[in-house]
Amino acid sequence: MTTVFEEKNISKAIMRMGLPAMLGQLTTLIYNIADTFFVSLTKEPAMIAAVTLCTPILLIIMSIASIFGMGGNSVIARLLGENKNKEVRSTLNFCLYAMAFAGMILLLAGILFMEPIANMSGADEENVVYTYDYLKYIFLGAPFIILSNGLVHLFRSLGLIKESAIGLALGNTVNIIFDFIFIVLLGWGTAGAALATSFVFFVPRFIIWFV
């Protein structure tokens, strides 16, 4: 677990940690345009607008994951350097519970206040129905989105660089596949885009990490 951090060759250690992370983020960049691309195939401007309007909401959910994921990453890495394994476990548990709690709060708040959130995002009468469809599944998947994104950072702090990169790349790749199935083949539009996003944050990454 600590071999990466004990690497005496600095450039080699940076490559071992940085390259998998870079490849994982590359798949994220591709995935970020997948929803809009597949929704655009419906040739419905209102659907495309809804996905665009909801993107900041999704990014806010992911940023909450970064609070505990990246923050916990920094704390855990320093504790490992000091050989404080008990504190590492406590920090990891705190981050996991905090992310799960934040996800549940977002789920409840999103469902209860979906209308004002949609209005704040800029939805109008032409695309508000599609905006609701997208937000509904994004908020339902909020706990999994937060846990999945946060665990990417926490795994890196533990030296599990390859595992975090594989989980990230696999999840993003499967998301694109489900986008095609839900949007193009099944014709679910923005609901399909959001459902694919929420679904793959749970299934592929949690399978590869915990099975």
130 touches 46 (CB < 8 A): yes
pLDDT score recorded for residue 106: 94
Dist CA 118 CA 76 (whole Å): 37
127 touches 53 (CB < 8 A): yes
Per-residue pLDDT tens over the stretch 147-187: 888 888 888 777 777 777 777 777 777 888 888 899 988 98
Whether the predicted model's global pTM rises above the 0.85 cut: no
pLDDT score recorded for residue 13: 64
Per-residue pLDDT tens over the stretch 3-28: 555 555 666 666 666 666 666 566 66
Dist CA 83 CA 98 (whole Å): 24
Angle at 53 between CA 48 and CA 58, to 5 degrees: 110
Per-residue pLDDT tens over the stretch 23-53: 656 666 676 677 788 888 888 889 989 988 8
CB atoms within 10 A of CB 90: 12
Largest CA distance in the chain: 60
Of residues 54, 154, 145, 55, the one with CA closest to residue 107: 145
